[in-house]
Structure 1
Amino acid sequence: MPVPEVLSGVLAWAVPAVIVFGATAIAVVVAVWAIRRARRSPRARAAADNLRARAGAALVTLDDAVDELDLEVGLSGALYGGGAPASLRRARLTAQHVRDASFEEYRQIAERDATPDEIRRVSTRIERRSAEALATISAARAEHSGWVHANVSAAAQIAAAQQRLAALRATMGDPAALVAELSSRFAEDEWTDASRAARAAVDHADEAARHLASAARTAEDPTRTALVELAEAERALRRAEVEARALEETHRLATQAAQAVTGEIAAARTALRQAFATRDQLEPADAARLGSELRALEAELTSLEADAAQRPTRTIDRVARLRDRLDLALGDARTAQQRLRGARTALPGTLAAARNAVAHAEASLGHVRASADARSRLISAQRELAAARQMQDPVDALDAARRAMRDAEDAKALADYDRLAGR
């Protein structure tokens, strides 16, 4: 057969096939593109965000249940000497693990540009795991409640709670004396939180005493149950303990800041002098830009020094932020040795500022039923602060402490928004 005829036959078969397969490939590509576009559309994003909101609500419910469970586990050990079923402790460990892992997943899909599919998948998993953990908690609490009814009298529970209240009052001492000490040394904005915590601790302790007295009267009547009043007393006791710790933490932070503030300012001035020396080694244009920022930082440091003794925690916080700005201004102009030396001197003050920021965030979240976003930010801040304390490399530790500050500030802002929104 002549070659042209063969070629003609091949073409006659191949061309239609190529057209068919090419059209199919184009259709497949278009279909895939359309599916992906639909999955990333505003409508898909809105649906995914709704699922994420549901997952956040489930996480908040689980977090509150874990807090209640912590109280019950503590009470079980204090009241019943470890004789109660271990199911509560096992349920708490399981729920804590689920909660912590879920908050981390929730934070990740919130912070990065996750696709609607990923948000949907993770949110569904969080909601399912939260529901399973809550079911485990409910079963454990039911088992524990049955054991308590069968083995412990209301009178014994009331007596044990009264002992805890007496121990709490002894530990608290005179909260007003701590506030008076702070108010005699520092400006009002340094001890306002301490004053509020002191009043709240005393009020909650008095509330617990009233509920316990009512429970004791109810327990004398065999036809009535004292468990409701006893439960309210325990909640008030726990709130009093939280406020007492907040008071102690505020007092500790203020007194420690007062001891450290002079050294932090001196270290910042030393860092500025070294930065001016680094500036002298730069090209004229870079030196001019850096010099302008350094003079601004120097002026700010001088203004902070004016009332540092009256506002030590605020000053420590501002100096830590000033050191952060100084690092950004210097950029790559420093040697590795200079960065290491600067991190070592900046770390103590930044850690103190981070602890203060976390304490403020914890207080804000403690007075509102905060959203999952606020809680996840607080957990991240607590984790970063713990990591900063353990790191051996001062540069890495400084970075972690600064991340803790930012996350704590975000958590407080979100909690404040939740409060204003009436949650």
Structure 2
Amino acid sequence: MPDLVATILGWVVPALVVFGVTAIAIAVLVWAVRRARRSPRARAAAEQARAHAGATLVRLDDEVAELELEVGLSGALYGGDAPASLRRARLAAQHTRDDAFEEYRAIGDPGVAPADVRRVAARIERRSTEALALVAAARSEHGTWVRQHVSAAAQVDAAQRRLAELRGAMGDPAALVADLSSRFAEDEWREASRSARAALSEAAEAGRHLDAAAARAGDPSLSALPDLAAGERALRQAESDARNLEETHRLVLQAAHAVPEEIAAARTALRQASVTREHLDPAEADRLGAELHAVEAELNRIETDAARHPTRTVEAIARLRGRLDLALGDARTAQQRLRGARTALPGTLAAARGALAQAEASVSRSRAGADARSRLLSAQRELASARQAQDPVAALDAARRAMRDAEDAKALADHARRSPTG
């Protein structure tokens, strides 16, 4: 029997040693591979791949904007809808762009493995390049058709009609700015003033280019296309700034009207939070009481100058309501959360709309990169979700996300505009 045990141990022990050493070697190898994949060098390579994909995505976004312009021009030239080929190309490119921006933002999270970043970046690069080729083919096909069937004079006439319509719709931009400046602080109407000046300047520039294009259109030896294209770009930017002026004016007046209600709703929420505090244990009650005191002090400070700064006040109250919700945590009942969301939603939606308008203006006038544009698209989606949601709590959460994304987009776009390479 001892000999049998010795024989078995003679076979088993070496085998266990071999298997143990092999298992340790495999574990060390797996660890080394994983570490290499997450090393600074791997992360740098992944970030480079993401940046390259982002640059291609920005090109696609710009091309989609150009295609949208061309679709609008086609509608004007044909007296109706744009050609089906252009509409299909635009929809396909928009869908690809929106999905790609969502993926691009997702791989910006530091927790994503470098290998996954490179894989998704390669997919973004491939799909964006395919979409760019689709857009280029559609525009080339359409350009050929236009040159064969539509005269340069007709194109110039269509652009001049749009310019005349824009000038008629703008009226006197200075009057809108004067209305705001007579009632509110400068930071409330500064963006409107900038948009008014830009819209007038761009409309004048568009007029000069279109006049030059009209003069060239009558001479077969000259090409009107360069001036026509320049006029269209100036006209498009003028339309964008005119919309921004009107939106800013509307948002400021709406905020001024809403300020008293928002302040009253915030004070009601504070009183309800105080009632909730009475049912908490002493430690939680003390913590919540300190936060309520801080929120009330901030609300009192905001209220002193609310009439002169309506949009800033509405935004600040929206943040205070979020801070209050965070402080209350799970202390409220479902009914209390629902009631609080209903009263906080109007002001938060207004704040999100204002933040989005500012972000759109910043992105449109800067060489914003993919990060700013992806956050802008996310803000637009979140705001749309907030408007469509039936549940006030879900709508409030979406509005707050839209507000944060819009603020991030504006900050990134402003940074790009201030940077030497921006």
Instruction: State the match for 1:298 in structure 2.
Output: 296
C-alpha distance in 1, partners of 2:279/2:23? 62
Structure 2 residue aligned with 1:216, among 199, 214, 217?
Answer: 214
Shift of 1:55: 0.7
Instruction: State the match for 1:42 in structure 2.
Output: 40
Structure 1 residue aligned with 2:66, among 57, 65, 68?
Answer: 68
Q: 2:71–2:82: 8 Å Cα contact kept in structure 1? A: no
Instruction: State the match for 1:244 in structure 2.
Output: 242
Is the counterpart of residue 147 in structure 1 residue 145 in structure 2?
Answer: yes
> Cα 1:4–1:47, aligned 2, differ >3 Å: closer, same or farther?
same
C-alpha distance in 2, partners of 1:85/1:302? 57
Deviates more, 1:14-23 or 1:56-65: 14-23
C-alpha distance in 1, partners of 2:23/2:292? 61
Shift of 1:13: 4.5
> Cα 1:213–1:24, aligned 2, differ >3 Å: closer, same or farther?
same
Q: 1:84–1:144: 8 Å Cα contact kept in structure 2? A: no
Shift of 1:284: 3.1
Q: Secondary structure of 2:107's match? A: helix
Instruction: State the match for 1:346 in structure 2.
Output: 344
Shift of 1:339: 1.4
Instruction: State the match for 1:263 in structure 2.
Output: 261
Shift of 1:311: 1.3
C-alpha distance in 1, partners of 2:328/2:80? 58
Q: 2:60–2:97: 8 Å Cα contact kept in structure 1? A: yes
C-alpha distance in 1, partners of 2:374/2:193? 28
Q: Secondary structure of 1:185's match? A: coil
Shift of 1:80: 2.3
> What's the CA shift string for 1:96-141, capped at 9, x where partnerless?
1111111000111113510000001000110111111111111111
The TM-score with structure 1 as length reference comes to 0.95
Q: Secondary structure of 1:327's match? A: helix
Q: 1:377–1:408: 8 Å Cα contact kept in structure 2? A: yes
C-alpha distance in 1, partners of 2:55/2:42? 20
Shift of 1:230: 0.3
> What's the CA shift string for 1:3-47, capped at 9, x where partnerless?
555555555444444444443333222222211111111111111
C-alpha distance in 1, partners of 2:75/2:181? 39
Instruction: State the match for 1:383 in structure 2.
Output: 381
Q: Secondary structure of 2:357's match? A: helix
Instruction: State the match for 1:274 in structure 2.
Output: 272
Alpha-carbon RMSD: 1.7
Shift of 1:397: 1.1
Task: For 1:135-174, list aligned pairs within 5 A.
Answer: 135-174=133-172
Q: 1:102–1:126: 8 Å Cα contact kept in structure 2? A: yes
Q: 1:391–1:397: 8 Å Cα contact kept in structure 2? A: yes
Instruction: State the match for 2:126 in structure 1.
Output: 128
Shift of 1:48: 0.6
| Structure 1 letter corresponding to 2:240 | V
Number of residue pairs matched by the alignment: 421
> Cα 1:288–1:20, aligned 2, differ >3 Å: closer, same or farther?
closer
C-alpha distance in 2, partners of 1:15/1:81? 89
Shift of 1:174: 1.3
Deviates more, 1:177-186 or 1:246-255: 177-186
C-alpha distance in 1, partners of 2:18/2:260? 81
Shift of 1:163: 0.8
> What's the CA shift string for 1:188-230, capped at 9, x where partnerless?
1111111111111111111110001111111222111000100
The TM-score with structure 2 as length reference comes to 0.96
C-alpha distance in 2, partners of 1:289/1:27? 53
